[in-house]
């Protein structure tokens, strides 16, 4: 049975300042409003983001850009490694084992 080819790394989804903010603030909001469901919590997070000072939003956006830059570098490195692995694997599999005739000729040459 042939081995499954390795999956190519998938592209990283871009992170926004809002995503970072929401991930940080969501836990606090859940503690304040444990009876609220996910949708209601999300609405509260959105209102909090909307009311957040512009300087704070810029800080979250800057953090998001840094995270995206790091993720891009990691993605490119993983893609390069995967491509190298595929190239190595395919070059090894393209070398066929010697035929019976070649083996016999080698044995006769050694005698």
Mind listing the pLDDT tens digit for each residue in 31-90?
A: 999 999 999 999 999 999 999 999 999 999 999 999 999 988 888 888 888 888 776 655
Q: Where do we find the tokens 């503690």? A: 31
- Identify whether the C-beta of residue 50 lies closer than 8 Å to the C-beta of residue 7: no
CATH topology of domain 17-91: DNA Binding (I), subunit A (1.10.30)
pLDDT in tens, 78-99: 888 888 877 665 555 555 566 6
pTM of the predicted protein model: 0.61
65 closest CA partner among 2, 22, 81, 73: 73
pLDDT in the model for residue 82: 82
* pLDDT exceeds 70 at position 25: yes
> What are the extents of the domains in the chain?
17-91
Q: Which tokens hold the place of 14? A: 């871009």
DSSP code for 91: H
Q: How far apart are CA 86 and CA 80, in angstroms?
A: 10
Q: How far apart are CA 54 and CA 64, in angstroms?
A: 15
């Amino acid at each position: 049975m042939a081995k499954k080819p390795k999956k190519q790394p998938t592209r990283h989804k871009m992170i926004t300042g809002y995503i970072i903010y929401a991930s940080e603030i969501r836990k606090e909001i859940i503690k304040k409003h444990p009876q609220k469901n996910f949708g209601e919590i999300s609405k509260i997070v959105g209102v909090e983001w909307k009311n957040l000072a512009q300087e704070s939003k810029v800080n979250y956006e800057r953090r998001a850009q840094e995270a995206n830059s790091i993720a891009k570098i990691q993605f490119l490195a993983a893609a390069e490694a995967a491509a190298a692995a595929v190239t190595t694997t395919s070059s090894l599999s393209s070398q066929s084992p010697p035929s019976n005739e070649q083996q016999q000729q080698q044995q006769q040459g050694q005698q």
